[in-house]
Amino acid sequence: MGKAKDTHISLGQATMLVEAEAITTASQRLGPEFAQAVEVITEMSNSGKKLIFCGIGKSGHIARKLSTTFMSAGISCIFLHASEAIHGDLGIYKPGDVTILLSKSGSSEEIVRILPIIKGFESKVIAIVGRLESPISEAADIVLDASVEKEGDTLNLLPTASASVALALGDALASAVIGAKGFTPEEFARYHPGGQLGRNLLLTVGDVMLKLDKIACLSAKHTLKDAVLGMTQFSIGAACIIDDDNVLTGIVTDGDIRRLLSKKEVVLDLPLSKCMTKNPLSVNPEIPLREALRIMEDRPSQISVIPVIDKSSNKLLGLIRVHDIHQTNFS
């Protein structure tokens, strides 16, 4: 059984290495035609036209995935199945749309049949093909070489390395286009609001913070025992220290208490003024969640909670936890 497992792992590694090498080779072939494709797609997008991906079989699956990648970048895009195209789906075309065709052989019958019609729609055609000398390559305006020396499987038959190269070329186009368009994280969030990335980009600290009625707020005159009781009551590992005007003056965390206990000198009636962290790190409610996360994690010693204060008055407004930022559902 051990030898069989080793064989499985070796075959898997060999396949991945073949695919990685094929992608590296393809990247080294990029030239003026790639830059031209980026310019054509960028110009199309800026003029309000759409990008149409077309393929069949495994190339069709890659084309469908790439269409969603470009949509995430705010580029109007659609997948057109080559077989369905000849039965009415060509109605999606408008003059000025750009087509990206994917075909390993470069001679997929269904694509070859619709090529003259696509050209008749005044659509520039970019071909990602595995054979440069092929009908699709000859008809295309721009050709990107997706050829591979061999596939990654032991039979050299499964579309493994060839599929990976086609996908990588499409992803490279998408990356270059968003660079050319100056695409921003905020724009990405607009098209991707439901995931963790969109959440961190769109929501602010004020949207998810725990407000004052949900956290322990004490004065510097309170004791360590009061802080422990407050943390227990609200099930939060911190207590904020404020003055009579509600201005934040300090914080005590469960980590602070553990460190005090390790010294074996702790008395529960110790005033918080003697053990709190004075003038602690804080954030304002207006900043994006991603910035709050950066502040909490981009430091020698990461913190899991941070007070939220009003920018002008320094009055305490609430508390935000790493947990609040990483939770998957919108509040």
Q: How would residue 328 be classed by pLDDT, with cut points 50, 70 and 90?
A: very low
Share of the chain above pLDDT 90, in %: 68
The CA distances from residue 35 to 139, 143, 162, 172, 177, in Å, are 19, 11, 22, 11, 10
Spatial distance between the Cα atoms of 59 and 329, rounded to a whole number of angstroms: 35
Of 328, 66, 331, the C-alpha closest to 197 is 328
Average pLDDT over residues 285-302: 88
Q: Which residue has the higher pLDDT, 212 or 257?
A: 212
- CB contact burial 167-188 (16+ within 10 A = b; e otherwise): bbbbebbbebbbebbebeeeeb
Comparing 180-184, 218-222, 324-328, which segment has the lowest mean pLDDT?
Answer: 324-328
Residue-wise pLDDT tens digits, 223-245: 999 999 999 999 999 999 999 99
Q: How far is CA 68 from CA 65, 163, 205, in A?
A: 5, 17, 30
Amino acid at 177: V
* Of 146-150, 197-201, 275-279, 316-320, minimum mean pLDDT range: 197-201
Give all domains of the chain, ordered by start, each with its CATH number: 2-183 (3.40.50.10490), 202-326 (3.10.580.10)
* pLDDT value for 193: 66
- pLDDT confidence of 187, banded at 50, 70, 90? confident
- Predicted confidence at residue 331, as pLDDT, reads 38
pLDDT at 200 (0 to 100): 66
pLDDT more than 70, % of the chain: 94
Cα 50 from Cα 97, distance rounded (Å): 5
Distance, CA of 145 to CA of 317 (rounded, Å): 58
For residues 318 and 186, the model is more confident at 318
What is residue 183's predicted lDDT score, i.e. its pLDDT?
86
DSSP string, 77-141: EEEEEHHHHTTTGGGG--TT-EEEEEESSS--HHHHHHHHHHHHTT-EEEEEES-SSSHHHHH-S
Q: Specify the pLDDT at position 325.
A: 81
- Integer angstrom CA distances of residue 218 from 85, 133, 179, 225, 245: 69, 77, 50, 11, 12
Q: Does residue 42 surpass a pLDDT of 90?
A: yes
Q: How far apart are CA 203 and CA 196, in angstroms?
A: 10
pLDDT in tens, 43-73: 999 999 999 999 999 999 999 999 999 998 8
Question: Which tokens go with 122?
Answer: 């005044």
Q: Give the whole-angstrom CA distance, residue 289 versus residue 201.
A: 7
Q: What type of residue is 310?
A: D
Q: Is the pLDDT of residue 262 over 50?
A: yes
Q: What's the whole-number average pLDDT of the chain?
A: 90
Count Cα neighbours of 231 within 13 Å in the Cβ-side half-sphere: 20
pLDDT at 169 over 90: yes
**77-100 pLDDT, tens digit each:** 999 999 888 888 898 999 999 999
